[in-house]
Amino acid sequence: MRFSREMLLLKSTTMALAVLGLLFPNFCSGQPLTPAEALDRYLASHVQQSACSASVFNVHIDASMPTLRKQGSMSGLKLVSYTGQVVYKSLRFTGDKLVKTAVIARFLAHDTNAAERTGDAAVSRQNYWFIYNKTSDYNGLTAYVFLLKPRYKRAGLLRGELWLTADTAVPLRLWGDLVKSPSILLRSFRIVQDYQIVGGCSQPLRLLLTAQTRIAGTAEMVIWLHPVEVVPRLQNGGQLPNADSEQ
């Protein structure tokens, strides 16, 4: 009888694993995806990322204008609702006022303006050609590297690379140069976005911005985001409080 119960348990476990293997083949096999499968999975899930983005982050920004020998730092909180609304709270700044007004304040204004932040620049097949380039190491993870080639010369589109994990197709890095300058005062603009996994969702970790301006030379920013907590009260698209900052 004991033998029969053990056989029954073993058979049930085998059947359960078989079902899981059919539903989630990569979950059970542990085998890496092909580059094409990873890209398809990323593009299919990328549009749903905002559904798990209601969070609070500690944010720290370091900015500089090397040509003018100006620099400054800002720290505070970044609140992101499930609808994608962004608000910065309890901001504290130290450094040169020019960096605060001409560099950091412009970034914050852009980041809190959903229309400017999203626009028509999504990482999608409608906007880009994706060309598999190589497999590379990224902090101990195996990553597929895809070249991003914009289909249009449109504001917000990048010419650069997209890095995805080979087993789960989670984004690790997105970087590139804007194909169209957002201002006649900018010669070029480079973006490097690194990601982290928070609660099963891909979230920004570090953002590097480098702008070559026609008047003030180079402007640089490094933005770090560290999660504090998920915000349940924002799950239904609730309104965020108004931003405030210390002068």
Question: Is the pLDDT confidence value at 201 over 80?
Answer: no
**One-letter-per-residue 3-state SS of 120-149:** CCCCCCCCEEEEEEEEEEECCEEEEEEEEE
pLDDT score at 246: 39
- Same domain, residue pair 121 and 230: yes
- In this prediction, residues 129-152 reach a mean pLDDT of 94
The per-residue pLDDT for 26 is: 36
Secondary structure of residue 92 in the 3-state scheme:
strand
Whether residues 24 and 99 fall in one domain: no
Number of domains in the chain: 2
* pLDDT above 80 for 217: yes
Is the confidence at residue 221, as pLDDT, over 80? yes
pLDDT band for position 70 (50/70/90)?
Answer: very high
- The one-letter amino acid at 247: Q
- How much is the pTM? 0.75
Q: Does residue 196 share a domain with residue 83? A: yes
Same domain for 94 and 43 = yes
Are both 11 and 107 inside the same structural domain? no
* 151 and 200 co-located in one domain: yes
In a domain, 5, yes or no: yes
| Phi/psi at 232 (5° precision) | -60, -35
What is each CA distance from 229 to 49, 54, 210, 232, in whole angstroms?
Answer: 17, 9, 30, 9
Of residues 159 and 53, the one with the higher pLDDT is: 159
214 versus 14: the higher-pLDDT residue is 214
Q: Write the DSSP symbol of residue 53.
A: -
pLDDT of residue 181: 82
Same domain, 20 and 112: no
pLDDT of 30 above 80: no
Residue 204 resides in a domain: yes
Q: Is residue 240 part of a domain?
A: no
Least confident of 68-77, 177-186, 223-232: 223-232
Q: Do the domain assignments include residue 239?
A: no
Radius of gyration of the chain (CA): 22
Note whether 93 and 203 are same-domain residues: yes
**Range 126-155 average pLDDT:** 94
Same domain, 14 and 45: no
Beta strands in 151-185 (DSSP E): 158-165, 171-178
Average pLDDT for the chain: 79
Instruction: State residue 226's pLDDT score.
Output: 92
Identify whether 20 is part of a domain: yes
Q: How many Å apart are CA 95 and CA 206, to the nearest integer?
A: 21
- Shared-domain flag, residues 103 and 194: yes
User: Do 9 and 129 lie in a common domain?
Assistant: no
**Which residues, 6 or more positions from 150, have their beta carbon under 8 angstroms from its beta carbon?**
127, 128, 129, 157, 158, 159, 179
Range of the domain at 1: 1-31
Residue with tokens 């900052």: 245
Structure tokens at 192: 């490097």
Band of residue 6 on the pLDDT scale cut at 50, 70, 90: very low
Shared-domain flag, residues 157 and 218: yes
